[in-house]
Amino acid sequence: MESTIVVGLERLEYRGYDSAGIALMDDENKIFTVRKVGRIADLKKTLEERQLPPARAGIGHTRWATHGKVTENNAHPQVDSSGKIAIVHNGIIENYLELRKELEEKGHRFDSETDTEVIAHLLEEYLKEEGDYLRAIVKTVNRLEGTFALAILNSDYPDMIVGVRKDSPLIVGVGEGEMLLASDIPAILTHTKRVVILDNEEIVFLTPDGFTVYDFQGNKKTKEIKEIEWDAQDADKGPYPHFMLKEIYEQPKVIEYNIQKYIRDGEPLLLKDLNLRKILLNKNRFIIQAAGTSLHAGLVGRYLIERFAKVPVEVVYSSEFHHRETIIDDRTLIISISQSGETMDTLEGLRLAKNKGLEVLSIVNVVDSSIARESDYVIYINAGPEIGVASTKAYTAQIFILLLLALELGHLKGFVDNDELKHYIEEIRQLPYKLNAILYRDAHIQHIAEKYHKSNHFMFLGRGINYPTALEGALKLKEISYIHATGYAAGEMKHGPLALIDSSWPVVIVNPKTSVYEKTFSNANEVYTRGGKLISVVTEGDEKMKDISESIIEIPQTDEYLTPILSIVPLQLLAYHIANMRGCDVDKPRNIAKVITVL
Ligand code: F6R
């Protein structure tokens, strides 16, 4: 039991990792709780030292602090006053202070600063009032405002775990003589591939041989069991030292898979659904809303959609989308992009759009995630589980989908003729080989990383369709190596940032052969003449950039509009190696988590 929970937590550690804990129900119906500040490895060590009794049920949690500092007391599970109820929680309870005050007035004493502890005490109170477990749970969850996925252990029901979902993902794994509950699929993959995805405002009662789902009014619901396609090994590192490296290396395979899936007889198939096709043809404006790396993919998407489909595109941070009086009408389509499908900023952006009566198309990796489920249309990017906190293969897969979408829509609208489409499909088919050719140069990139890994700041520059590549390259480096890195549009340097440049600055410039090559070359020269050390990402055989660069990384020649899928890969590898050389925890950088389910 203990090891099942720990292995599950290890697979979820990418979601948060400042403290962890576990609660087990022993054969005498007593709950044992062990909590630890630090990583799952620290918890595991303590569990080995403590030698806990055999257990019949258990829950565990890895935390990314929102309410209350990172201390053992604030780690989950949190328990009630009687020690009979233990709860783990993802999300935020917005009205916890008000509930805490109410419970304190009734004599409850709190051990932590968390919002989660309030839930345990509230349930304790309602169990006393109601005497019935389901009714007490229903009453509790209806008092909570905010987002929550809960797993609850109660020593009066020792063979049972209760799960609750509201705006934070939760799934049930249906095993042989065992039931599992988790916030994400990788946690249960070694046990079962049969899952039930809980919907919002659902409660599940699990026993070793079955599960029952209720809504927030306590009415029973029937749920479908789905067979998932992922294998346990998809969520393992395999021979790679880090998930990030494994995922960088998976990019040719992911693109190949998507080519097989979405291109048939030389034609893109994304808009096979006639309704989706009609909707896209009818819209005269797209707003892409996303966060972080997914937003950068959206920025590339803007160039692609405007070029091929001639639809004006705006790209906004989901976290800012909420704060604007965006001018929209029913011919505006919202496109949400998200790897996890659970990013709360993006989910809220989607809901805002839907509340205004707009249609939403989402480009998502995780099947059946909240964003996928709440959108009118979904296109999956099929990247497989992405575990490293720094997003890599999802980014190139998102751009691939946006490229295909732009081409297909452009073709349907008559802006892309058959010959042009044929040219692009041929270029696209070569992407997996070209990606592999870049990966063969990993040793060279590692050598470059060696040269610059002690620098304390980096600048990343790009122009045109590779401007977002510069932003993404800088994000990759800063988030995993903690080096200050800034991405800029190369042409903007002369409007201020050039003042920063001296011989202490490595400047990564992305300048493959495109229509903005000469202009970007001039920008590179501006940096070179100020003493900046240029690390240039260029098309194979480019002698001109070589002359002014300290280091060169070559990528295979491709059409301008496909270059972002190739040009980011050396920057992912550069960030990976630099972070590794600086001794950083590549897969789990400090202060951030893989899935941000808070606003
Ligand atoms: C950076 C990174 C984040 C995510 C962002 C959005 O490497 O992974 O910036 O891109 O948090 O996440 P999703 O795509 O899951 O919505």
Q: Is the CB of 18 under 6 A from ligand 1?
A: no
Q: Is the CB of 298 under 6 A from ligand 1?
A: no
CA distances from 533 to 149, 460, 487, 549 (A): 49, 12, 16, 7
Distance CA 434, CA 393 (A): 15
Closest ligand 1 atom to Cα of 295 = 10
State the Cα angle at 288 between 283 and 291, rounded to 5°: 165
Q: Which of 509, 515, 426 is nearest to 470 (CA)?
A: 509
Q: Which CATH superfamily includes the segment(s) 237-429?
A: Glucose-6-phosphate isomerase like protein; domain 1 (3.40.50.10490)
Q: Which of 82, 79, 93, 81 is nearest to 23 (CA)?
A: 79
- Best residue among 14, 289, 343 to mutate for probing ligand 1's pocket (most ligand atoms within 8 Å of CB) is 343
Closest ligand 1 atom to Cα of 292 = 9
Contacts of 151 by beta carbon, 8 Å cutoff, 6+ apart? 59, 61, 87, 88, 161, 162, 163, 181
Closest ligand 1 atom to Cα of 392 = 7
Distance CA 144, CA 99 (A): 9
Ligand 1 atom 9: the closest Cα is on which residue?
292
User: Side chain identity at 302, as an amino acid letter?
Assistant: R
Q: Is the CB of 597 under 6 A from ligand 1?
A: no
Whole-model pTM: value is 0.81
Q: Is the CB of 479 under 6 A from ligand 1?
A: yes
Contacts of 502 by beta carbon, 8 Å cutoff, 6+ apart? 530, 531, 532
Cα 89 to ligand 1 centre (Å): 22
Q: Is the CB of 398 under 6 A from ligand 1?
A: no
Distance CA 76, CA 183 (A): 15
Q: Is residue 146 within 8 Å of residue 152, measured between CB atoms? A: no
- How many other CB atoms are found less than 10 A from the CB of residue 48? 11
pLDDT at residue 2, as a whole number? 75
pLDDT at residue 233, as a whole number? 66
Distance CA 553, CA 231 (A): 35
Q: Is the CB of 580 under 6 A from ligand 1?
A: no
Cα 350 to ligand 1 centre (Å): 16
Distance CA 337, CA 324 (A): 19
Residues facing residue 264 across a β-bridge:
267
Q: How far apart are the first and last CA of the chain?
A: 34
Q: Is the CB of 390 under 6 A from ligand 1?
A: yes
Report strand pairing: 161-166 vs 146-154. Answer: antiparallel
Distance CA 121, CA 98 (A): 13
Residue range(s) of every CATH 3.40.50.10490 domain in the chain: 237-429, 437-591
Closest ligand 1 atom to Cα of 595 = 15
Cα 294 to ligand 1 centre (Å): 6
Ligand 1 atom 6: the closest Cα is on which residue?
291
Sheet with 533-539, strands from edge to edge, namely 484-489, 457-462, 506-510, 533-539, 551-555
Tokens 């304390």 sit at which residue? 456
Q: pLDDT 10s digit of each residue in the chain, 599 long? A: 778 999 899 888 766 678 899 999 999 999 999 999 988 889 999 988 888 888 999 999 998 877 778 899 999 999 999 999 999 999 889 999 999 999 999 999 999 999 999 999 999 999 999 999 999 999 999 999 998 999 999 999 999 999 999 988 899 999 998 999 999 888 898 899 999 999 999 999 999 989 999 999 999 999 999 988 766 667 778 789 999 999 999 999 999 999 999 999 999 999 988 899 999 999 999 999 999 999 999 999 999 999 999 999 999 999 999 888 888 889 999 999 999 999 999 999 999 999 999 999 999 999 889 999 999 999 999 999 899 999 999 999 999 999 999 999 999 999 999 999 999 999 999 999 999 999 999 999 999 999 999 999 999 999 999 999 999 999 999 999 999 999 999 999 999 998 999 989 999 999 999 999 999 999 999 999 999 999 999 999 999 999 999 999 999 999 999 999 999 999 999 999 999 999 999 988 888 777 776 66
Percent of the chain with pLDDT over 90: 81
Q: Is residue 120 within 8 Å of residue 134, measured between CB atoms? A: no
Residue range(s) of every CATH 3.60.20.10 domain in the chain: 65-234
CATH dotted code for 65-234: 3.60.20.10
Distance CA 276, CA 445 (A): 42
| Cα-to-chain-centroid distance, residue 173 | 21
Local structure of 570: helix, strand or coil: helix
3-state helix, strand, coil in the chain (%, to 5): 45, 25, 35
- Best residue among 247, 363, 596, 599 to mutate for probing ligand 1's pocket (most ligand atoms within 8 Å of CB) is 596
Task: Judge residue 568's burial from the number of C-beta atoms within 10 Å of its C-beta, 0-12 exposed, 13-18 middle, 19 or more buried.
Answer: buried
Ligand 1 atom 7: the closest Cα is on which residue?
390
Q: Is the CB of 469 under 6 A from ligand 1?
A: no
Tokens linked to 233: 């090994």
Q: Which of 447, 595, 459 is nearest to 530 (CA)?
A: 459
State the Cα angle at 400 between 399 and 404, rounded to 5°: 115
| Strand extents, DSSP E, 473-558 | 484-489, 506-510, 533-539, 551-555
Local structure of 490: helix, strand or coil: helix
Q: Is the CB of 293 under 6 A from ligand 1?
A: yes
Q: Is the CB of 338 under 6 A from ligand 1?
A: yes
Ligand 1 atom 3: the closest Cα is on which residue?
292
Q: Is the CB of 343 under 6 A from ligand 1?
A: yes
Cα 410 to ligand 1 centre (Å): 28
CATH of 437-591, one of 3.40.80.10, 2.60.120.680, 3.90.550.10, 3.40.50.10490: 3.40.50.10490
